[in-house]
Amino acid sequence: MPPIRPLSLITGASAGIGAAFARALAARGHDLVLTARRVERLETLADELRRKHNATVTVLPNDLADPAAPQQLCDALAQRGLHVDWLINNAGYGVPGTFESNSWTAHADFIQVLMTAPTELAWRLLPAMREHGYGRIINVASLAAHVPGSVGHTLYSASKAYLVKFSQSLALENRHLGVNVCALCPGFTWSEFHDVTGSRDMMNKLPGLMWQTAEEVVHQGIDAVEYGKVVYVTGRVNRIIKTLVKLMPDRLSLWLSARQSRRFRKLE
């Protein structure tokens, strides 16, 4: 049985999908631990959730690009006697440009944040979930995990595909112990993601039916993990795209990916 007030740890909670998860889970009666780099945004969100939902909200600023960050975060939880029931591995960003146009440091930080940190947090927090017989892990992946890689943003699709496969194995290993794991795969989502990567003008060329709000993504993601769905693509349009790409010959899907990359990816 779930606890009366589950505790949810949300990474990348300062904006976008992460902040939407915080609001949605607080509304469902969860207490929260919020982590991201931007302290002021976290504190503002925490104050909002305390006032609106009477939630206990702990702010633990951290930069997951630091290899020591996951352990430091879990140590801080242990020092406060906090047991995490829901882990939302949401922190992420994009690295514009082609592979060779970025430094190795940029790539290494990206791999740390998008792949290593969520894996380590799951490894560190999963044993207590198993012991308690209850837990939920949502790894925020992407529709990009289900379509060919692109020209530019070289590691993005690869990192999201990793999260999908990781989630599948983790779900199979733990569902008999009351721990549900879901790879949540949104498509284009209204947030500041494309502003940060400098691709907003290009993204604005896409038709409105391609977009979802962060709130829509989060609502579907919470339902998906509760229902035991292991991989969930949000939105009907995104599910159609996934199916069409799966049915296409690889040569055709790669050609389409290359063509669309030039239109919607910042390559420098």
Tell me the catalytic residues: 156
| Pairwise CA distance, residues 53 & 176, whole Å | 32
The neighbouring-strand residues paired with 137 are 87, 181
User: What is the distance between the alpha carbons of residues 192 and 186, in angstroms, rounded to a whole number?
Assistant: 15
CB burial class (10 A; 0-12, 13-18, 19+) of residue 85? buried
Interatomic CA distance for residues 260 and 205, integer angstroms: 12
Of all residues in the chain, what percent are helix, strand and coil, respectively (each to 5)? 55, 15, 30
- Taking the C-alpha atoms of residue 245 and residue 210, their distance in angstroms, rounded to an integer, is 16
Give the chain's radius of gyration (CA, Å): 18
